[in-house]
Amino acid sequence: GENVEQHPSTLSVQEGDSAVIKCTYSDSASNYFPWYKQELGKGPQLIIDIRSNVGEKKDQRIAVTLNKTAKHFSLHITETQPEDSAVYFCAASNSGAQKLVFGQGTRLTINP
């Protein structure tokens, strides 16, 4: 089955700087890669996603890149703000199985 590895487990950056979180996946059949933000005591909220037919996607300060050959994808947050502090999870799935396999999570702290 699918296995998703996420790094780093913790990340601390100064407000205004950029943050990058990386994930690798094992199943070449995976074709959907979402990123979720989870705040304490709440369910995950989708912040951006990418499909395997696209190499990059951007939404304001957030961008995701996908390298299908290397089976890795990354989340980029620019101009970080204190409200970006949370735990971020990457995930992978394929259109057949639908179920998501999550990475281990990254606790992002933005220092004012």
Partner 1 sequence: GAVVSQHPSWVICKSGTSVKIECRSLDFQATTMFWYRQFPKQSLMLMATSNEGSKATYEQGVEKDKFLINHASLTLSTLTVTSAHPEDSSFYICSARDPRHPNTEAFFGQGTRLTVV
**Could you list the residues that contact partner 1 (CB under 8 A)?**
31-32, 34, 36, 41-46, 49, 51, 89, 93, 95, 98-105, 107
Considering the complex, state which of residue 14 and residue 53 has its C-beta at the smaller distance from partner 1.
53
CB of 48 to partner 1, least distance (A): 10
Output the six-digit token pair for 33.
């890669």
CB of 108 to partner 1, least distance (A): 14
Task: Report which residue type is found at 98.
Answer: Q
End-to-end CA distance of the chain: 41
Output the six-digit token pair for 107.
């606790």
Burial of 23 (0-12, 13-18, 19+ CB in 10 A): buried
43 bridge partner residues: none
Considering the complex, state which of residue 27 and residue 49 has its C-beta at the smaller distance from partner 1.
49
Q: What angle is formed at CA 84 by the lines to CA 61 and CA 91, rounded to 5 degrees?
A: 80
Considering the complex, state which of residue 16 and residue 94 has its C-beta at the smaller distance from partner 1.
94
Considering the complex, state which of residue 21 and residue 101 has its C-beta at the smaller distance from partner 1.
101
CB of 65 to partner 1, least distance (A): 19
